[in-house]
């Protein structure tokens, strides 16, 4: 059987491409690690080929996964962390619920009210999220006007409570560390565009590993479900 449509004209089988991308995103490997691992399997794949696969299929994984995610809770814990791209710092906005399940994320060149508003809009429109009852943030001054603006246009209910309780964000700060550990060991950040593509893959795999994907508790189940997302027969 040939490759599914999304792998048309690829030199390697879809199973090999997805295996390589999945390992990269899950284990924080470098491209050169994967070159060596594939060589042990008798496959000659360059690190630039693997990099292109990651850039191409990470956003697709994030997109396809959205419809298969379990619903998150109504208590949002919102925060931003920093990501270095070619010597310049950018801002990774992220939110989890009180159980630590990922609500959404957004890489931004700026840390201001507009960026906070864009992130809130993205999170509120995600297929797997529910309308928040509470939004907890840090003391970043841009969140309050962004939240009020969302209320004024009906994107948020007027009754949504905005809190700034530091300890409530402990779970998202812990979650930041797990994601940034993957970024630190595996990412070649050469541009904002390719950085965001790859981060979408890291975040998608992180959600899968946290059990947010339906019917994907074990590693083998995750492999099967990811292949299913891309049209590979079981």
Helix or strand holding residue 140 (H, E): none
Delimit the domains of the chain by residue range. 5-68+188-229, 75-179
The residue written with tokens 């010597």 in the block is: 87
| DSSP one-letter code for 7 | G
**Res 233: pLDDT:** 67
Please provide the CATH number assigned to the domain covering 75-179: 3.30.420.10
Q: pTM to 2 decimals?
A: 0.94
**Res 189: pLDDT:** 67
pLDDT per residue as tens digits for the range 109-150: 999 999 999 999 999 999 999 999 999 999 999 999 999 999
**Res 181: pLDDT:** 84
**Res 230: pLDDT:** 95
**Res 108: pLDDT:** 97
Q: Tell how far CA 111 is from the center of its chain.
A: 19
Q: How many CB atoms lie within 10 A of CB 120?
A: 25
**Res 36: pLDDT:** 97
Residues of the chain with pLDDT under 70: 1-2, 185-189, 233-234
Q: Residues 42, 57: contact at Cβ < 8 Å? A: no
Bridge partners (DSSP) listed for residue 91 = 82, 108
């Amino acid at each position: 059987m040939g490759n599914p449509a999304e792998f048309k004209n690829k030199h390697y089988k879809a199973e090999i491409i997805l295996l390589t991308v999945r390992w990269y995103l899950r284990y924080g490997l470098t491209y050169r690690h994967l070159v060596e691992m594939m060589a042990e399997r008798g496959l000659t794949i360059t690190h630039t080929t693997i990099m292109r696969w990651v850039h191409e299929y990470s956003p697709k994984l994030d997109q396809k996964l959205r419809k298969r995610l379990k619903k998150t809770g109504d208590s949002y814990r919102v925060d931003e962390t920093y990501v270095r791209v070619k010597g310049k710092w950018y801002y990774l906005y992220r939110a989890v619920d009180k159980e630590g399940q990922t609500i959404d994320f957004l890489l931004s060149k700026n840390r201001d009210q507009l960026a906070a508003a864009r992130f809130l809009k993205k999170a509120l429109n995600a297929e797997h999220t529910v309308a928040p009852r509470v939004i907890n943030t840090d003391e970043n001054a841009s969140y309050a006007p962004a939240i009020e603006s969302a209320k004024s246009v009906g994107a948020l209910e007027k009754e949504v409570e905005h809190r700034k309780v530091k300890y409530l964000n402990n779970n998202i700060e812990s979650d930041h560390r797990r994601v940034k550990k993957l970024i630190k060991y595996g990412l070649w950040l050469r541009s904002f565009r390719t950085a965001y593509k790859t981060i979408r893959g890291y975040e998608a795999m992180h959600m899968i590993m946290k059990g947010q994907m339906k019917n994907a508790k074990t590693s083998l189940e995750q492999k099967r479900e990811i292949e299913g997302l891309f049209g590979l027969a079981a």
